[in-house]
Each structure stands twice: as C-alpha cells, then as structure tokens.
Structure 1
C-alpha cells in the first residue's frame, strides 16, 4: 500500500475510533444498523398511515411468498400464475376478476382483447399501462373462465389484500361483478354498484363493468366512461 494511502487509512481509523469513544462517553452502547428497520412487522392496510412500528410489505415479498402456489385446485390446470403488473407507486389500481386464456398463457393481466380495450380506456384518461397497477382477485385461471369457488377465493384473496396494502393507491377501480363483490364483501349486483363510490380500508373504490362485458355490450361503454371521468376527478383532487 503506498505511503500516502496508508497514512489516510490510519487517519480514518483514528477518526472512527475517536467517534466511537465519544459515543461511549455519551452512553451509547450500540449503533443500530439499517437492518433494524427491516425487522419491524409488516403493516396491515389499516395501519399504514397510523403506525410507525411497522413497515410496508413489498410486492416482491408478496410474490415470493405466493411462489409456485398450490393452495387450491386451480394450480393443477394453470400455465402461469398471474400476479399483477404495473407501477408499484401507482395512484390508480385496477382489480379484475381472474385471468383468461391469454393471461394464463403469458402470465400477465389483461393482455387479451379485453385488455386492449382497457388500454384504450386508460389512454383516453391520460394513462399508459405502466402508469397504473393491474391485478386480479384470482391469480390462476378457473376452468372455462367460470367463477371461482369459495375455497379458491379464500386461498387467493389474502394476496390481493396484501398487494393493496403494499401499493396504498389513492383509487381502486374494480372491473366486473366478481371483483366488486369480493373486494367490498357484498352481494349487490354490478348494475347497482357501478358508478357509486365505495371504500376499502380507507381507499376510494369505484366499481364499473368489466371490459369483456363491454365487448359484448358496446352501449355500456358510455356508462364506463362516465365512471372513469369520476375517477379522473378524484385523482385530480388528490393533486390539489
């Protein structure tokens, strides 16, 4: 080691030793490391804004815990788990029902014809897909796109709840009857729910029709656009 660098090294060691001695005289027996913060328990969604003794879980942690999920029978017929995709800091989260054929093949949400329609809706709102976060209640495709069974819902919904706790969005839009009824724990029909603000753990929720429904019923696009204008207005209020 050159003399110059060796001298600088000795000076740095002396400075650190002096700092530690000063801390010792002040009664500081241990300097906490950054890993101490990671040891805090994960916040539940209702605790995120009110507790300093917990930390937010990351989407990566949730996905790792989901792993190669075998928690229900849907795992036997799937090609890919569809965890979710988008901006982890998104103010707007869209929650669909369950993956379809294209989503199951690619492992991404809303990539089929309904997904392309959803992208056009988002574009009209001033968003790109990567600006928002998109996920489903169920992470695996039910056979023939049937509604999930109660045991399948029970196995999967906790992961959606953890995703929403990690994301902490300003607004959630539920797409379709199943997503709205599951997240809001209600049996009301989507025709009654759509267009009316609800709340999930303090987050504003607006149910609307699923894009697949719009493909079969184009006249309903007008109602969905009215819903999306409400969403844009709520997001602008958050900017002020």
Structure 2
C-alpha cells in the first residue's frame, strides 16, 4: 500500500482530485478505534481535574487538562472531505439553519437587479454546504435575450471542472439535441436548478433545493424567457410538483407562474437519459419538435 508520506505534494493533490471526481467523499481510519472508551477517559480526566481544582488549594499542581479535540481522529461515521482544500476565505465552512439559509438566499437573490449582480451574490453566498465540496459555481450561460431558457437539475463532474453548464459528454448530447431544431448553446440560456455539484453526482436533497430555489427563480425573473424547457426528473418535479416521472410529465405544455411572470414550459428528458438509454431519443425528439413548433409559431 502506498502511504501519503511517500507521495509528493503534487502527486497527492492529483490523487485527491481523482478520488473527488470519482465521487469519494470520506476517508476512514485503517484500523477501528473505540471512541466510546476514549470519550469516557476524557470525561474522567475532566472530572478529576475539576475535583482537584476545588479540593484543597493545590489545583495548579494536580489539574490535568483534557486533550485537545484536534488530536482525536474522526470515527468511521464522521466525515472528512478528500478534495484538496480551498482557502477558508473563499469557501466558508459553515452550518446555517435551513430557515435562516433560505431567508438569506431570498434576500440575496431579490437584491440582484441583473444576472451579473445575481452571479456575484451567489458567489458570496455561504448558506448551502454544497459549495464547500464543489470546485466552481456553475452559473447561467448563453443569450438571455433569446427568450429561450433551458434548465437542468445540477452540475455534473465536467460542469464543475469547467465552471459551465452542460459540459463534457452530456453537453455534447445537448448540443446535438439543440442543433436538431435549429438552436445552439449560444442562442439559448442554459442553467441548472442547483448551481453547485453535489458530491458523487447524487440528487440534491430537499433542503439543498429549497435553499437554492430563490436563485433559480430570480434567474428566470431576470431573464424573462418566452419559452422554458425543463430537463429530467428532478427539474420537472422541482418546478411542476408531485412525484410523477419525467416520462409522465414530458411532452405537455404548461404555464409556469414564477418570479412575477408566466412562462410556457415543456418538460423533456435530460441528456443523461439519452446517453444511458438510447431508446429515449425518440421521446426526446418528439418533445424537441413540439418545442420547435412553439418557438417558430
């Protein structure tokens, strides 16, 4: 087994980045440790110290302070981020109560008067812990004046690495989907519900989605799209509600009232659905033709 001490700083950083991209979130000790016994020993040490301090005027001679918490290794159930750590000033490690985080997100979003201001507000927002594991904020990209907005669920690994929505293989698939109806990345506005990649490409939790909701709703309000396309299960359920699958929600135009405007909205399959199950391409093509007819009509 290769020890971390045997690696150069650059090799170690590359290894950690590889594990992070592979979805590894935590490191564990090689041998099990009885933390319950350690905790009891620490309590006993504290108790002995307090007793000595109040027992006879010799506290300074017999008091034994508890061991600093920093010397205790984490248990297998405790977390340790394996990504190369970013400066604390740029990625605050904070835990904010859900209600407070949502309120702060709403205030930050509503204070923005343009997409550029909204991006700055999101870069300074510390209420969603997803930003602590993500490499980049993945913000909207494309032409806000086009009147066409396409929303996915979240950044994937390629998006997080490049700092742009729909990068890599899935981005190539979306590019082909758009080209089929005469559109391109440059002639639409691309974005995601959640702007930070969840570890391991997992689905965002309800808490994370609620915290990020003010930001995506503000993007829609500022861009004022004439047509909206929702990609995939998570995105369709986020905006349309319910627990129906994308196969039940796709292909039907709905009026979505959001951010003070009402937008004709069509849900369809995500590029990931087409990559993993090519049979889905025929359903996506039907939806794309319906979208083309609407924007050309």
Quickly name the TM-score band, shorter chain normalised: 0.7 to 0.9
Aligned with 2:123 (options 64, 67, 80)? 67
Partner of 2:233: 177
State the 1:211 CA deviation: 0.3
Query: Which SS does the other structure have where 1:125 is aligned?
Result: coil
Contact 1:173 1:205 (C-alpha < 8 Å) held by counterparts? yes
State the 1:71 CA deviation: 1.4
Q: Deviations over 1:109-142 (max 9, x none)?
A: 0011111010011111111211000000000001
In the alignment, structure 1 residue 205 sits paired with structure 2 residue 205:
no
State the 1:187 CA deviation: 2.0
Partner of 2:296: 236
Q: Deviations over 1:70-93 (max 9, x none)?
A: 211111101000011000212211
5+ unaligned residues in a row in structure 1: which ranges?
A: 1-55
Aligned with 1:148 (options 198, 204, 215)? 204
In the alignment, structure 1 residue 224 sits paired with structure 2 residue 280:
no
Partner of 1:166: 222
5+ unaligned residues in a row in structure 2: which ranges?
A: 1-111
Partner of 2:143: 87
How far apart are the structure 2 equivalents of 1:75 and 1:121? 30
Aligned residues: 183
Higher relative contact order (CA 8 A, sep 6+): 1
Q: Deviations over 1:154-178 (max 9, x none)?
A: 1111110000011111111101000
Query: Which SS does the other structure have where 2:265 is aligned?
Result: strand
Detail structure 1 runs of 4+ shifted over 3 Å in the superposition. none
Contact 1:197 1:206 (C-alpha < 8 Å) held by counterparts? yes
How far apart are the structure 2 equivalents of 1:57 and 1:121? 32
Partner of 2:27: none
Query: Which SS does the other structure have where 1:80 is aligned?
Result: coil
How far apart are the structure 1 equivalents of 2:144 and 2:158? 23
State the 1:101 CA deviation: 0.4
When the two structures are superposed, what TM-score results if normalisation uses the length of structure 1? 0.73
